[in-house]
Amino acid sequence: MSTLTDRPRGAGREAPVGAASDNGRWWALVVLALAQLMVVLDATIVNIALPTAQADLAFSDADRQWVVTGYALAFGSLLLLGGRLSDFVGRKKMFLIGLIGFALASALGGAANGLEMLIVARALQGAFGAALAPAALSLLSTTFTEPAERGKAFGIFGAISGAGGGIGLLLGGVLTEYVSWRWCLYVNLVIAAIAVAGALLKLKDEPVAAHGRIDVPGTIAAVVGLVGLVYGLGKAETDGWTAGWTLGPIAIGVVALIVFVLIELRVQHPLLPLRVVLDRNRGGSYASIAIAGAGMFGIFLFLTYYLSSILHFTPVKTGLAFLPMLGAIMLTATTAGSILTPKIGPRPLVPLGALVAAGGMVFLTRLELDSTYASGVLPGLIIIGLGLGLVFAPTQNAATAGVEHRDAGVASAMINTVQQIGGSIGTALLSSFAASAATDYIAGKQPTPMVQAQAALESYHTVFWWSAGFFVLAAVVAAVLFRTGPLDVDPDAPPAMAH
């Protein structure tokens, strides 16, 4: 069964994709969603396992951040290259390379006998994730080209992207508590094996069109820029904003990214053709997802702290606590997100979703030391989930809508890159705001257990207010940048599909 018509670009336009391939397309979605789930849940599943891994492998708190940062640096800096390679080498080929490499890197991490081996494994996971994530999203984009079908497919894919972090928390808690922290990495072997089998059976790719060479200067500038930015922001979280190891890498990163843009304006075959970013809908989706990505860390990171340190939830109970939010994300992403996006486009939906999510964050600022989960946390989580579902599905659809197939990989890579950068900025900013709020609260007081608990609560309130602010900003940016009306259809689709 074919998921894509096997035709050269621009040829065979009179042959519509028949009913025979419909079933294959939906099976392809299952395979692509599985791969996306693996990449997204890996961002949080290891966080839950870290304290146990730290005790087992005997490394310090200062070293612990490198297990997270190693993955983020490799993933964030190599995404654009991964996306471009999938346009050049073939999306299915890069998808399989990414899947198998990610699984092998996970096995290495699961078998780690020390910190160094674990960090190397996490960096390799990030590198292969950077090949896998854009290939999956671009295959989805070129497989589903008819607007209504595309809306449904991106609704499901967006729901998985939004819910993956929460699923990671739950799965990480269960595996760490009942099996071993190592299974938080080994579990990827199971997911990857199913996805590889599905990809070989159900995924078809278009023939690779003739193309130029890889833009080496642009690639180097992009990697240096993104590594500098992500590394510097990571150091801001631990060392503070004025430290040399924070400001130096951030400055190098910003300069390298400016150089990158200048290179892209001049070279014949750019790594990131600026036509991809300068489209208003795509630019709107990249900006919205970056800002919303910064706000999301307020939920996953600091609400986890609240549940574990104030309400004394176990890791499993903490994971289960997020399930209603995941259900709410899936509900709006797969219903309103998929049904309304093809008809009215992202402009009304993304601002509405971001404002609803902001309302949920404001609700969480009412939490107290004696609040209960049912009355204090649950309503806020459900409101946030309903909002995020309306943000994720339309933005991922808009990020790849109307893009030529030769640019689908790099357009897909950009959505992951901006989400990664947004998350890094969010984590660094929110962590420093939280630390300042706690310090200010304790100043001049006797540091009794009650005062320290209240200081922690004060820091969480501060973060929830800032996260609400990020979501409001995302709503404003989306309202200004997105065009009114339905999204552009696939410019490379045959006429039968482009209605």
CATH number at residue 464: 1.20.1250.20
The average pLDDT across 84-96 equals: 92
For position 375, what pLDDT does the model report? Answer: 95
Please determine, for residue 123, whether its predicted confidence score (pLDDT) is greater than 90.
Answer: yes
Q: Per the structure, how many domains does the chain have?
A: 2
- Give 423's pLDDT tier (boundaries 50, 70, 90): confident
Kindly state whether residues 226 and 333 are assigned to the same domain. no
As a whole-number percent, the residues of the chain with pLDDT over 70 amount to 93
- Note whether 396 and 319 are same-domain residues: yes
- Of residues 126, 23, 142, the one with CA closest to residue 91: 142
4-13, 135-144, 404-413: segment of lowest average pLDDT: 4-13
* Assigned domain for 170 exists: yes
pLDDT at 8: 36
Q: Within this chain, do residues 204 and 257 fall inside the same structural domain, yes or no?
A: no
Residue range(s) defining the domain that contains residue 246? 215-270
User: Are both 362 and 304 inside the same structural domain?
Assistant: yes
Residue 493 lies in a domain: no
The predicted structure's pLDDT at residue 272: 93
**pLDDT confidence tier of residue 227, bands split at 50, 70 and 90:** very high
- Structure confidence at residue 7 (pLDDT): 35
Please report whether residue 196 resides in a domain.
Answer: yes
pLDDT, one tens digit per residue, over 240-293 is: 889 998 999 999 999 999 999 999 999 988 999 999 999 999 999 999 999 999
Based on the fold, state whether residues 196 and 51 are members of the same structural domain: yes
- The average pLDDT across 79-87 equals 92
Q: What is the pLDDT of residues 348-398, one digit of tens each?
A: 999 999 999 999 999 999 999 999 999 999 999 999 999 999 998 899 889
Residues 295 and 443 in one domain: yes
Do 149 and 254 sit in the same domain of this protein? no
Section 96-100 average pLDDT: 97
Q: How confident is the model at residue 22 (pLDDT cuts 50, 70, 90)?
A: low
**pLDDT class of 11 with cuts at 50, 70, 90:** very low
How far lies 455's CA from each of 400, 435, 442, in Å?
Answer: 44, 9, 6
Whether 66 and 201 share a structural domain? yes
For residue 246 the two structure tokens come to 């924070």
Return the pLDDT at 492: 65
Low-confidence winner among 20-29, 46-55, 162-171, 403-412 (lowest mean pLDDT):
20-29
Flag whether pLDDT at 90 surpasses 70: yes
Q: Are residues 112 and 260 in the same domain?
A: no
Mean pLDDT of 57-64: 84
> What local confidence, expressed as pLDDT, does residue 1 receive?
34
341 domain residue, yes or no: yes
Mean pLDDT of the region 208-223: 85
Residue 36 scores a pLDDT above 80: yes
Is the pLDDT confidence value at 9 over 60?
A: no
pLDDT of residue 304: 87
The answer to whether position 15 is within a domain reads: no
Position 96 in a domain: yes
Residue 2 has pLDDT above 70, yes or no: no
Among 270, 290, 307, give the residue marking a domain's end.
270
Average of per-residue pLDDT across 419-448: 89
pLDDT value of position 192: 96
78 lies in a domain? yes
Q: Are residues 153 and 248 in the same domain?
A: no
CA distance 337 to 62: 41
pLDDT band per the 50, 70, 90 thresholds, residue 216? very high
Instruction: Say if residue 149 is in the same domain as residue 238.
Output: no
Q: For all residues of the chain together, what is the average pLDDT?
A: 88
What pLDDT does 6 receive? Answer: 36
Do 249 and 275 reside in the same domain of the chain? no
Of the three residues 270, 290, 312, the one that is the final residue of a domain is 270
pLDDT, mean of residues 226-235: 89
pLDDT tens, residue by residue, 286-310: 999 999 999 987 788 899 889 988 9
Structural domain includes residue 9 = no
- On the question of pLDDT at 464 being above 90, the answer is yes
Cα-only R_g, the chain: 22
